[in-house]
A and B are shown apart, each in its own frame.
Chain A
Amino acid sequence: MSALNNPVIAVIVSVIIAVSYFTLVDHFLMDMQGLDYWYL
């Protein structure tokens, strides 16, 4: 946990989690409606 309190590591880990989470949310919630999120 002490490594996570290092601001640089904390930012990198947070960005990876947040970007992955929102990308998955966008993809799967469109997929559930039978729509293609990556259409464009």
Chain B
Amino acid sequence: MGSLTRKKTLAVMALSAMIGLLLLPIVVSVPALASGGGAPAGGPPPDVVKKEGGEGDKDKKVEKARDVYYKTEGIVSGLPAPKTGDNAKDYPRYNFESRVLLWFANQQHLYYGSFVLAVPIFCMVIEFMGVMTKDKAMAKKYDQLAYDFIKISLTAYSLTAILGGILIFTFLTLYPAFFGYLSSIFRPVMHIYALMFVAESGTLYIYYYGWDKMKEGFLKWIHLSMSVILNVIGTVLMFLANSWIGFMMSPAGVDEQGRFLGNIWHVIHTALWNPLNVHRILGNMAFGGGVVAAYAAYRFLSSKTDEERAHYDWMGYIAMSLGVAFLIPLPFAGYWLMREVYAYRQQMGITLMGGLLAWLFIIQATMIGILFLSTNYYLWQALGRMRGAERFQRWIKYFVFLLVCGFLVFITPHTMVMTPAELKAMGGQQHPVLGNYGVMSAKNGGINVIITTTVLTFIWYQRGNRVPSVSWSKFGNIFMGVFFFFAYVNIIWLAIYGYFIPANVRVGLSVPQVATTLSCLFFMTALNLSMLKGAKQIGPIEWGKISVRSQYALIMLATAFTWMMGLMGYIRSSVRLFWHVNEIMRDNSPWAYTHTVGFAANMISFNVLFFWISIMFVFWLGTLAAKKAPVEAKAPVPGQAPQPAVGH
């Protein structure tokens, strides 16, 4: 009894310490905010102080300037952005392109960073499911799964920190002028980032090492609360990092010379900050789900026993489901980000979607198509682990037809890459045939057909081994069929309608198209679940009895996602063209040009390959720990070798 009380006291103290660490940066910032919006730590630059001192206190003169984005006036409290030159002082270099070195360091840090931010969110969700589940065996399974997840991310967490260190050294060594300017602008919040990092590490280690000590009752709730705090810290960290890239793309809080105007909130809250936040959270989750699913597939393929295969099949399914749940809204968040880019600077949007970088978006569309095709393929294969799902096999060919049609419309380009002679022969950029295709209206129709079909596949999967037994099941089935039919009709009709109305009306059609897809997702999934209450079961789900091909689909899903993340990061970064900070600080290095599509694709492939080779090492370390555990324990660990589940 005394031991339990001590445990409780220690747990509450640990939780309080985490909350304290979380609040510490805010407390530290209060004095700065109270004195009028957080002047940069260290006061104004020396030359301003000198000027003020020379003029005496009576007629103290402060210089004011106008914010480039918010158009408000503020007191100049920083130095202008440095005007760099192509020299060894501003751009020290090795005999290699500095930008490529930075690209590599940045991309690897981002891959690992997004993975270790996503996995604790999964852990929180799965641990919560375990706590809420009434079935004791399932609760243990969920708990073991959450523990497996966090175990993978712990090694990755160390690698993330190492890569972060490498990234800072790369910045300081190769781009000192730029990094000096950016860190001077963000000086009021730089220490918050560092403190958050300490809080994240502390919370993560207590969360992981305290798992076994806090397994039951009240202590379990404390443990679950820690995962919430861990994720709040992780999210704040990411939002702060996003504010740097938001500032580089759409600067605010500075005047046209790049001088800080004293309001750090304006610097953080730029035009693109929130769209980037939403898009990146969803992207991290989908990416994390993909990586964990690939880990499960790797373990499934190397399993020696049926029990192991059953566990890793289930783990892969859960990870894939969580990843795809966030993949579905991801294109809509991306669309919002693009709309905000157009609203901020129309020319930037045109460079992205209709100019220099447009063909990269065709590659992106191809990758999105591959993601959804892989997801559908996995779910069709997963029907194989259910008895009674054979009745759905004959419908798959129609789904393939719908997906391929949507995919082909989605990847059709609007313009061709042409030589000047070809352009002249054609009399302009517009191809006489192709110019009619590949417009946004049609592409939106294509992707919405793909997503709606994925929703339909998922509903099929939910039905796999069950037959609805509610009294209104006949009406429910007919209503669901009719609703999906008219959803397809509405999506395709809106895509065609867009060809007959002016562009300013056409852009609005994307909203009802998205609403149609989301209606199918929310209403039909809810209807299906209510129809399946008390449904007749044809046979159990036989976890582990699934084709090997399905596991390769999971690996394909994860690899395609990694590649696409690298591609979209490159697009977002290169849209600044020859600016370090858009329209404020010019990039005068020899590498301010935009790479060819081919070089960029090779570089992205190299980054993906490096990430997967290094994460295979992390996976391998995970298997070492798993092999070691039974030797030490000498007794079976509860939940270590779960029985095949009957629900999902």
Contacts and interface: CB of A to CB of B under 8 A. Distances in A.
Contacts of A11: 478, 482
Nearest to A16: B482
B617 interface: no
A6 to B, nearest CB: 8
B508 A30 contact: yes
A15 B519 contact: no
A39 B501 contact: yes
A34 to B, nearest CB: 8
A15 to B, nearest CB: 6
Contact of B505 (A22, A25, A32, A39): A39
Given A25-B519, A40-B500, A35 B508 contact: yes
Contact of A26 (B478, B483, B494, B504): B494
A40 B498 CA distance: 10
Contact of B486 (A1, A10, A22, A35): A22
Contacts of B474: 5, 7, 10
A21 B489 CA distance: 13
A40 B512 contact: no
Interface in A1-40: 1, 4-5, 7, 10-11, 13-15, 17-19, 21-22, 25-26, 29-30, 32-33, 35-37, 39-40
A10 B475 CA distance: 6
Contact of B490 (A5, A10, A26): A26
A22 B516 contact: yes
A1 B557 CA distance: 44
B230 to A, nearest CB: 38
Contacts of B515: 25, 29
A18 B487 CA distance: 8
Main secondary structure of the interface of A (DSSP, over half): helix
B478 A30 contact: no
A40 B497 CA distance: 9
Contacts of B516: 22, 25
B472 interface: yes
Contact of A19 (B475, B481, B486): B486
Contact of A18 (B482, B497, B500): B482
Contact of A10 (B478, B489, B505, B511): B478
Contacts of B471: 1, 5
B505 A35 contact: yes
B90 to A, nearest CB: 46
A7 B478 contact: yes
Nearest to A10: B478
A40 B217 CA distance: 63
Contacts of A33: 508, 511
B332 interface: no
Nearest to B489: A22
Given A4-B472, A7-B478, A18-B483, A25 B512 contact: yes
A18 B486 contact: yes
Contacts of B483: 14, 17-18
B487 A14 contact: no
Interface string B263-278: 0000000000000000
A14 B482 contact: yes
B206 interface: no
B472 A5 contact: yes
Nearest to B471: A1
B482 A15 contact: yes
A14 B512 contact: no
B509 interface: yes
Contacts of B481: 14
Contacts of B485: 18
A18 B485 CA distance: 9
Contacts of B482: 11, 14-15, 18
Q: Quick one: which of B500, B504, B511, B512 has the most chain A CB within 10 A?
A: B512
Nearest to B479: A14
A35 B56 CA distance: 59
Contacts of B504: 35
Given A25-B516, A25-B519, A33-B508, A17 B479 contact: yes
Contacts of B490: 22, 25-26
Contacts of A40: 497, 500-501
Contacts of A36: 505
Contact of B512 (A7, A26, A39): A26
Nearest to B477: A10
Nearest to A15: B482
A40 B502 CA distance: 10
B511 A30 contact: yes
Nearest to A9: B475
A29 B519 CA distance: 13
Contacts of B509: 30
Contacts of A10: 474-475, 478-479
Nearest to B473: A5
Q: Quick one: which of B474, B494, B508 has the most chain A CB within 10 A?
A: B508
Contacts of B512: 25-26, 29-30, 37
26 contacts: A1-B472, A1-B475, A5-B475, A7-B474, A7-B478, A14-B475, A14-B478, A14-B481, A14-B482, A15-B486, A17-B483, A18-B482, A18-B487, A22-B516, A25-B512, A29-B511, A29-B512, A30-B508, A30-B511, A30-B512, A32-B511, A33-B508, A35-B505, A35-B508, A37-B512, A39-B502
Given A10-B474, A25-B516, 11 more contacts: A1-B471, A11-B478, A13-B475, A14-B483, A18-B486, A22-B489, A22-B490, A25-B515, A29-B508, A29-B515, A30-B508
4 nearest A-B residue pairs (beta carbon): A14-B482, A18-B486, A35-B508, A10-B478
Interface of B: 471-472, 474-475, 478-479, 481-483, 485-487, 489-490, 494, 497, 500-502, 504-505, 508-509, 511-512, 515-516, 519
Interface of A: 1, 4-5, 7, 10-11, 13-15, 17-19, 21-22, 25-26, 29-30, 32-33, 35-37, 39-40
